[in-house]
Amino acid sequence: MKEECEVTTINSLLTQLLLSCAVKNAHRFARRSALTRKFIQAGLIFGVVLAILGRCTPIIAGCFTNDLAVKSAVKGLAPTLAIVFSVHGVVCAGEGALLAMKDLKFMAMSYTGFFFR
């Protein structure tokens, strides 16, 4: 699954790169918004694909092991993988957009709020 996560990381990096170029031209707000929307849509598509792959993990695990305990553990983990991977692409795109706009205070507060509730 690491390779699939690299796709969403690339989406984050591309969002940072292209939006940072668009941010320099402050009068192009509509273009920035459209780019951000497209990257979030791409993240959503990647998330759906990753969620489907996450749900297929028990099927794939059968190719690598015959141990019933391992198959059972993987089967119990599959729904969690699907949920986490479904939002991973959107989170990466949003993070890339925040980094491109240099909204570091908002990012710091959101991460702090997540870890220290």
Among 2-11, 70-79, 106-115, the range of highest mean pLDDT: 70-79
Residue 3 in this model has a pLDDT that exceeds 60: no
pLDDT band of residue 29 (cuts 50, 70, 90) is low
pTM, full prediction: 0.66
pLDDT reported for residue 109: 78
More reliable by pLDDT, 61 or 101: 61
**Residue 87 burial (CB < 10 Å; 0-12/13-18/19+)?**
middle
pLDDT at 51 (0 to 100) = 86
Q: Find the DSSP H helices in the chain.
A: 2-24, 29-55, 57-61, 68-100, 104-115
